[in-house]
Structure 1
Amino acid sequence: MEEWVGFKWHEYITRQALGEFPEHAVCLKDEARTLGVLFRALGGDPALSLVTAEPRHFQIRRRLLQKLAGTHRKFELAWRDDQSLRLPERLALFPDKQLNRELYLWLAALAATDSQEHPDWFTANQQRVQHLLAHWPGLETMYQRLVRHTLQWRPDPDSLPEAEAQRERALRQALIHPGSVTRLPRATTDPWPVILWLYPVLGKGKVSGQVIDDDANSRPGGLAKKNKRRQAERVDGFDRDQGLMIFRLESLFSWTEFIPVDRAGDDTEEEDAEAVADDMDMISISSDRRETSSAIKFDLDLPSEENDDLRLGPGIHLPEWDWRSQGYREKFCCLQPMLSRDAVPSPLPEALKRPAQRLRRQFSALKPLKQWQRRQTEGDELDLDACLDREVQHRRGSGVIDQKLFRRCQLSQRDLACLILADVSLSTDTYINNHQRVIDITRDGLQLLSEALQASRDPFALFAFSSRRRDHVRFHHIKGFDEAYTDISRGRIQALEPGYYTRMGAAIRQATRLLQARHEHQKILLLLTDGKPNDLDLYEGRYGVEDTRMAVQEAHKAGLTPFCVTIDDDASEYLPYVFGSNNFVVIRDPAQLPLQLPKLYMNLTR
C-alpha cells in the first residue's frame, strides 16, 4: 500500500511540475511524413534523415515543485548536422494540439534555411528566423502565434535575479523582434531553453557555456526513430573481483549504474538496458573484452582462400564518391568477382515448379513474333494488295505506278537487356514470419524471375554482392549475358549465403560497366536489397547513401534504367533521394517478393 501511495504521489507531483498538456500531445512519428515533405519543399537537404533529438542537460533555476519532482533538468530541443535533422520525440507544451503541430512545422522550416551560420548561437538563430520570414512571409502569422504562447511558457523576468532577468528580457526581445538584440547577457545559470530555435550540434558547441553536451559519435537513424546519444566517459577495465564497493562509500554503484559496455558485443541479456541507459547521466565505457568477446555469435573476418569462393582475377579497382569533399576517390575500392566453390548443378525446387510453369506461359507471349512487312521492293512473296492497287493504277492510266509489290516476313525483337543485382549481406540472414529467411526469399525470387526471363528470351545476367570494407567488395557471378540459364545457374543461386556488409555503390558501378557493353537499346539494372548501404569503415550513414546515389546517377548518364526492389520498411526515407521517386518499390510483405518480381519486370519493360 505504501508503495502504491508513493507511486501515485510521485506521478501527481511530476505531472504538476512538468506543466505540459498531455491530452494535446503531438508525436514526431505521426508528423514525420509531413515534416519531411515540408523540409525538402523549402529547400532542405534531401539527404538528411529525420530522427528524434536526445535530451540535453541544463542548469536552470527551477521552482521547488520542479526540484521535488526531479524535472526540468533535461530538454529535447531541435538541432541538425550533416547527417540528420533532430526534433523532439513528443510536443505537449501548448494547450492546443494544432499549436504543438505548428511548432513541429516551424522547427522543420527553420532547419531548412540555408542562411550563413554565425558562430554565436544567439545571433545565428535570429538571422535564421529573419531569413526564413523574408523568403516565406506567409509563415509570419504562425511564428507570432507561437511566440505569444512561448512567452507564456517561459519564466517571468520579474521573478528572477537581476542578471538572469536581463538575459530573459533579451531573449524575449529577440523572439519578438528577431535581429534586434546583438548580445546575450551572461548569468551564472543556463538560459531557459528557447523551443523555437535550433541548438548547436552536440559535441561541437555549448549554449552560454553551461549546457552539458552528449557524445557526438552516434550514427543517424531512420525517419522518426529513437536514436538518442548519451553522455559517456572512458574508464579503465572494471575489476569484478573487487565487487561493487570501490574505495569509498560514495563510490557505491548499483549493477544498473555501471554496465561494462563493449563496442564489440552484439547482444545483451538485460532486457531493460535501453531504459536503464535513458535514466543514466553518464555511461562508462571500458576496453575490457574478457567476457563480451565470448558473446560474439559470428566472425566477420574473411575465410582462408582455400575455404572461400573462387576468385575470378586479381580484383577491379573502382572509384568512390566522397560527398564531404565533393569529389571521387580514385581506385578507392577493390571489387573481387567470385564464383561459388560449393555450388552443384541443381534442378528447380519442387515448390517453385508450379508458379514457374505459370510464369513461363505468361512470358512466352513476349517472345519474338513473325510480322509481315508489306509493300517492299523485294521479299519472300508477292503482296496481293499491292499488286491489285498497281493493276487499278495501270488501267486508270496513272503516270506513277508503285513498284513495291512484295512482302517480307521479319521477327519483332524486344531490344532490351537486364542485369539483376542481389544484396546478400548478413542482414539477409534474418527471419521473416519466424519461419523463412530473407536470403531464402531472395533465392526464390531470383529463380522465378530467371525462369520468366528465359521464356521471354530477353538477355539477362545475375550477380550478387556483399562487402567487408573498401578493399574487399564481393561480386558473386551467377549467370552472365552470354551464358544459358541451366541447372548450373540454378545451383549457384541455391548456393548463395548471407555474409558481410552492403557497399552498394561499388556493386552498382560494376553492374553499370557490364550493361554498358551490351548493344541493346534499353538496359535495365534491377537491384534487390533489404536495407541501407553500410560497411565497417566510413561507409555508413550519409556517406554510403551519397555514394550510392552518385552511382545511380552515373548509371542514368550511361543510358541505363536503374530500379530498386526492397523489403525495407524504412526505404521511403532514403530511396526517393537515391533512386528517384518513381524508380523503386517497397514490397510490404516480403514473402510475396518471388511472385511480385516477374510482375514488376513486366511492368517495367512494357
Structure 2
Amino acid sequence: MTGVQTCALPISCRDAETLQLPPELALFPQRELNRDLYLWLIALAAAHDALDSDADWLAGNQRATLMALERYPGLQPRYRRLVAATLAARIAPAQLPPDEAVQETQLRQALHEPGSVLIWPAAARPLQPVPLWLYPAPARAAVKSPPHSRHSPASSANPAQPDRQRRRADRVDLPERKSSFLAPFRAESLLSWAEFIRVNRPTDDDPNPDAAQAANDMETLSVTRDGDQTASRVRFDLDLPSASADDLPVGPGVPLPEWDYRQRALLPNFCTVQERLARRAPPCELPAALRRDAQRLRRQFEILRPGHGWRRAQPEGEELDLDAWVRHAADCVGSGHSCERGLYRQRARQERDFACLLLADLSLSTDAWVNNKGRVIDVIRDSLFLFAEALAATGDRFGLYGFSSCKRQQVRVQRIKTFGERYTATVRGRINAIKPGYYTRMGAAVRYAAGLLNQQSAARRLLLLLTDGKPNDLDHYEGRYGIEDTRMALMEARRDGLHPFCVTIDQDAGDYLPYLFGNKGFVLIRHPEELPRQLLRLYTQLTLTQ
C-alpha cells in the first residue's frame, strides 16, 4: 500500500484478530446509507478472512469485494448505491493534479469494476480515504484524544469497566540508565514528569493500578520495547513438579484435535490429554463444616431417588389392573370380541435414566480469594463434596473430573470419580486433594469429558462445566482462538446428543458465554460463596426439565 491517507475520514481497519469500525458514521446525508456502510464493511471483513493475509491492499480489497458480492448477492444494489454516494463526495479527477488524477481514475474504476485494476499508479500526495475498503490496523495510534480532566465523570467511573479512550502515542527508544542510583536534577524539569511503566503484555501478571490515571494525565504516550524477557513464564516452568512429586498418570496420553478458526480446520492430534490421579489423597470423611448441609441435601434429594411403582397392563402380575379389565369388558360388549391384552399390575423398580459429568476448572486462577473469606478452590471443593453427597442420594450415575493445562501437550484431567465407582471415603479423599493447577485449555478438556460421557448409555446426559474464567493457555490459546476452539468442542458435544451447561463465577462471563453456551446454557453466580447451594438447585432444575 503506497501513500494512503487515513486521517481525513473515519476509516475501518482489520488485522488477524479484530475488525475496528468507527464508533459512529455520518459520512452520507442519508441515515440508510450510513447503516448500509456498516453492513458492507462487516461483509467485506468476512470475505477478507478467506484471502491471503499477505495480499496487496488494493488487490486484496478488490478481491474481497468480488467475494462479498458473490457470497451475498443481496448486497449488490446497496454496494452500487454506496459507490455512487462515495464518488459524489470525492474530489473529481479534473480538479486534481495529473498524477493524482490518474490515481483517482484508477480508484474509481476499481470501485465500479472490482478486480480490473492491477497496477497502482504513484502520486506525490496520498490518496483520499476510501471508506468502502478496509485498511490494515495501524502499528501505532495517532489520533488526538479530547481533553480529559482528572475530575471529569469519565475518570470517576467504575474502574472495572474497560478503558476505550483513544490517545496519541509515539514509539521511542528505551532511554539509557547507566546507574540506577544517580538521579540528575534539572530545574527546568520541575513542571514535567515522565515514567516508563513495564507492561508484560503476554502475561500482564502485575499491572500497575495507577497506570490508567497516569495515562490520562499525559498528552502523548511514549511506547518502547525493552527487550527483556518476562520472568513469569520462567517461574511457571520452574513450578512444574518432578515426576516423583507429580500426580500419577492413568494410562497413556490421549491425542485430541483442536479447532483453528484462522485456517477453518480441525487440527488432528494437536493436543495430548493425560488423565491423572492424586498421588497423596488419603481417604477421609466429609468435613465437619459441611455435614449439616449435606444431611439436609440428602433428605431433599432422596425425593428424586427412583422407587418401586406399578406397571400397568402387564400379561402377569401381583394384582388385577381394573382399568384394563374395564376396557376389555367394554370392547367385548361393543364388538363381541376383544384382543388379548395385559390385565394385571406388576410391581417393579423405576429407574432414572440419567448421567451427569461435572468438569471443574482447576486452573491457577482458582487460587484467588473470595471476599477475604476463602479461596475459589475451597468453594469448588465444597461444591464437589455437596454435589457428590446429593447425587449419591438420588442414585444417578455421575462422574467428577477437574482439568488444567500447560500448553497443548500437557492438558491435565484430574480423575476424582468415574461413573463406575461408588461414592466412598476414597472419592472424598480425592476431592479433598484438589489444588490449583495451571491454565485453562477448555476445548481439549470438553472433548475428553464428552468422550467419557458418550460411553454412558443413559437417555439424558448432562455435561456440567464449573469454571471461574475464560479459556486461555500459554501457546496462543487466548482471546478469540481459545473461544472458537471451545465453541467448536461444545458444538461437537451437542451433535453427540449431550447437553452442555456452564456454571461460572466470572463476572465478565456475559461477554463470551452466550457465544459458547447460548443465552440459556449458562448461569452466573454473583456471590461465589453461594456456589454449592446454587449448583445443586441448578442440577435439580436441569434433570427435571431436560
TM-score (norm 1): 0.67
- Secondary structure, counterpart of 1:199 in structure 2: strand
Q: Deviations over 1:133-181 (max 9, x none)?
A: 56344674587368647865x6787886543454345546655776676
How many residue pairs are counted as aligned between the two chains? Answer: 510
The residue that corresponds to 1:341 in the other structure is 280
State the Cα distance separating 1:535 from its structure 2 match. Answer: 1.5
CA RMSD of aligned residues (A): 5.0
The residue that corresponds to 2:215 in the other structure is 275
The residue that corresponds to 1:198 in the other structure is 134
Q: Check the 8 A contact 1:371/1:411 in 2, yes or no.
A: yes
1:275 partner letter: A
Partners of 1:567 and 1:113 in 2: CA distance: 37
State the Cα distance separating 1:187 from its structure 2 match. Answer: 1.9
Partners of 1:473 and 1:196 in 2: CA distance: 44
Counterpart check, 1:313 vs 2:253: no
Partners of 1:265 and 1:536 in 2: CA distance: 12
- Secondary structure, counterpart of 1:551 in structure 2: helix
Change (3 A) 1:422 1:272: same
Change (3 A) 1:605 1:177: same
Partners of 1:377 and 1:558 in 2: CA distance: 37
The equivalent position to 1:589 in structure 2, one of 516, 526, 531, is: 526
- Secondary structure, counterpart of 1:531 in structure 2: coil
State the Cα distance separating 1:422 from its structure 2 match. Answer: 0.7
The worse-fitting range, judged by mean Cα deviation, of 275-284 and 435-444 is 275-284
Query: 1:506-517, aligned counterparts within 5 Å?
Result: 506-517=444-455
The residue that corresponds to 1:555 in the other structure is 493
The equivalent position to 2:398 in structure 1, one of 460, 476, 481, is: 460
Partners of 1:386 and 1:322 in 2: CA distance: 57
Q: Deviations over 1:337-366 (max 9, x none)?
A: 122625662425636844x55544443332
The worse-fitting range, judged by mean Cα deviation, of 138-147 and 194-203 is 138-147
Q: Check the 8 A contact 2:507/2:526 in 1, yes or no.
A: no
Percent identity over the alignment?
42
Q: Deviations over 1:531-579 (max 9, x none)?
A: 3322112433444344434433443454433333334455555545545
Partners of 1:503 and 1:229 in 2: CA distance: 34
Partners of 1:368 and 1:523 in 2: CA distance: 17
Change (3 A) 1:370 1:140: same
Q: Check the 8 A contact 1:340/1:476 in 2, yes or no.
A: no
1:465 partner letter: F
Counterpart check, 1:187 vs 2:123: yes
2:44 partner letter: L
Partners of 2:391 and 2:62 in 1: CA distance: 60
Q: Check the 8 A contact 1:232/1:285 in 2, yes or no.
A: no
Q: Check the 8 A contact 1:360/1:452 in 2, yes or no.
A: yes
Partners of 1:494 and 1:151 in 2: CA distance: 72
The residue that corresponds to 1:27 in the other structure is none
State the Cα distance separating 1:92 from its structure 2 match. Answer: 6.7
Counterpart check, 1:286 vs 2:227: yes
Q: Check the 8 A contact 1:425/1:466 in 2, yes or no.
A: yes
The worse-fitting range, judged by mean Cα deviation, of 453-462 and 344-353 is 344-353
Change (3 A) 1:585 1:578: closer
- Secondary structure, counterpart of 1:563 in structure 2: strand
The residue that corresponds to 2:303 in the other structure is 365
Q: Check the 8 A contact 2:254/2:273 in 1, yes or no.
A: yes
Partners of 2:80 and 2:365 in 1: CA distance: 45
1:272 partner letter: A
- Secondary structure, counterpart of 1:284 in structure 2: coil
Q: Check the 8 A contact 1:381/1:406 in 2, yes or no.
A: yes
The equivalent position to 1:479 in structure 2, one of 413, 417, 420, is: 417
The residue that corresponds to 1:3 in the other structure is none
The equivalent position to 1:330 in structure 2, one of 227, 248, 269, is: 269
The equivalent position to 2:40 in structure 1, one of 94, 106, 115, is: 106
Q: Check the 8 A contact 1:315/1:337 in 2, yes or no.
A: no
Partners of 2:417 and 2:298 in 1: CA distance: 19
Q: Check the 8 A contact 1:418/1:525 in 2, yes or no.
A: yes
Partners of 2:126 and 2:173 in 1: CA distance: 29
Change (3 A) 1:393 1:175: closer
Partners of 1:224 and 1:453 in 2: CA distance: 41
The equivalent position to 1:78 in structure 2, one of 4, 12, 18, is: 12
The residue that corresponds to 1:207 in the other structure is none
The worse-fitting range, judged by mean Cα deviation, of 326-335 and 72-81 is 72-81
The residue that corresponds to 2:439 in the other structure is 501
- Secondary structure, counterpart of 2:470 in structure 1: coil
The residue that corresponds to 1:446 in the other structure is 384
2:420 partner letter: D
1:267 partner letter: D
State the Cα distance separating 1:414 from its structure 2 match. Answer: 0.9
Q: Check the 8 A contact 2:26/2:34 in 1, yes or no.
A: yes
The worse-fitting range, judged by mean Cα deviation, of 415-424 and 559-568 is 559-568
- Secondary structure, counterpart of 1:466 in structure 2: strand
The equivalent position to 1:427 in structure 2, one of 336, 346, 365, is: 365
The residue that corresponds to 1:14 in the other structure is none
State the Cα distance separating 1:511 from its structure 2 match. Answer: 1.9
Change (3 A) 1:480 1:605: same
Q: Deviations over 1:36-73 (max 9, x none)?
A: xxxxxxxxxxxxxxxxxxxx99885xxxxxxxxxxx76
In structure 2, the gaps of 5 or more residues are 143-160, 184-191
Q: Deviations over 1:408-442 (max 9, x none)?
A: 10122111111100111122334555656443443
Change (3 A) 1:604 1:160: same
- Secondary structure, counterpart of 2:392 in structure 1: helix
The worse-fitting range, judged by mean Cα deviation, of 457-466 and 163-172 is 163-172
Partners of 1:563 and 1:311 in 2: CA distance: 29
Change (3 A) 1:265 1:449: closer
Change (3 A) 1:212 1:350: closer
Q: Deviations over 1:457-505 (max 9, x none)?
A: 2111111110112332222222222333345544543443323101223
2:258 partner letter: W
Partners of 1:588 and 1:125 in 2: CA distance: 45
In structure 1, the gaps of 5 or more residues are 1-55, 61-71, 204-210, 214-222, 246-253
The equivalent position to 1:537 in structure 2, one of 462, 465, 475, is: 475
